[in-house]
Amino acid sequence: MAQGHQDETKCKNGSIHNDVMDEIEKEASHWNMVYSLTSSIPMIIVTLVLGAYSDRVGPKVILMISASGCVMEYFLDVCIMYYQLSPDYLFIGAFITGSTGSSAIFQVGCMTILGTSTSSESRSTRLVLVYIISGTSTFISQLSTGYIIEEAGYAMAMTISMIYITTSLLMVNFMVSDSTPSTDDSHSSFTIMQSVKIYVKETDPPRRMKMLVAMAVLCMVVMVEGGSRTVQTTYKISQPLCFTSVLVGYHSALQHIYTSITGLLAMFLVHPKLGDMGLTAIAALSMGAFYIMLAFSTTTELAFIGELHILLL
């Protein structure tokens, strides 16, 4: 902790913020952008295909594919850090996790299980419960990761993450039951190629256009989200904020918990009155306000106060 405070003081005093640091930050941003694209592009394709194919193979297979890819990536990352291998190998891990769907496919599997194992009356309650548990877990993870990095370094933080992901994979394998594929005639001959043709050879032109627009929006959101996380982290650790890993963890955790709370409130209070389009518009305005307020934050206090934009909108 003392070392982290010293680094923050040096950063704010300008003793370690020079032309060399500027070049390092630019290079890191470039690498992170390429890394995000290496993961995001295959993830989008795999999610669109396996998402449509999940009814055929069952949610357990989808969950296993996603978790296995994450385990392989984290294992590779741990090896890179412990043995000080070339950072180029990180792109291999990014491509692996993207090619197995990453968290997007995992969410598809979870939602499939929830949709097929609950009644229509209890489904919304279960969804809210899953949302709360997920938000709380992410909040705790982001807080603890900052401290682990501060005290034990990135390699140990990555090792702990790999252990958690491996545990999730084992839980899916031994606790999630195998679901029987649909016996409906419309699904019995459904293949992966047919799931692709849904987007390019749909017989109803208006429906196909909506699906293509949705796919384009999904691509933009995934790429923008991946890039924005990189920009946010780089900005937080640079002047004038000079966040330590602990402060980065706190800020990210608060951002997520605020989003979770207001998301739940919006679902119950705003969505019944404004519908999907109204809720989407408010969410877009909220995120835009967040990025503007963070960009003009020059102190730690302002950066954290900026999180309140979500509550105001």
pLDDT reported for residue 72? 93
- Sequence spans of domains, the chain: 39-203
Q: What tens-digit pLDDT sequence spans the chain (313 residues)?
A: 444 454 555 565 555 455 666 676 677 777 877 887 888 888 878 877 776 666 677 788 888 888 899 899 999 999 998 888 888 898 999 999 988 887 777 777 777 777 777 776 666 667 767 777 777 787 788 778 878 888 888 888 888 888 988 998 888 888 877 655 544 444 444 555 666 666 666 567 777 777 777 777 766 776 676 667 777 777 887 777 888 878 888 888 887 777 777 777 777 787 778 877 787 788 778 777 777 887 888 888 888 877 665 544 4
3 state SS for 62-129:
HHHHHHHHHHHHHHHHHHHHHCCCCCCHHHHHHHHHHHCCHHHHHHHHHHHHHHHHCCHHHHHHHHHH
pLDDT value of residue 21: 63
d(CA 276, CA 257): 22
In 31-49, which positions are buried (b, 16+ CB within 10 angstroms) versus exposed (e)?
ebeebbbbbbbbbbbbbbb
Of 113, 105, 29, residue with least CA distance to 70: 105
Q: What is the pLDDT of residue 218?
A: 67
pTM of structure: 0.71
The pLDDT score that the predictor gives to residue 313 is 46
Classify residue 5 by its DSSP letter: H
pLDDT at residue 233 in the model: 76
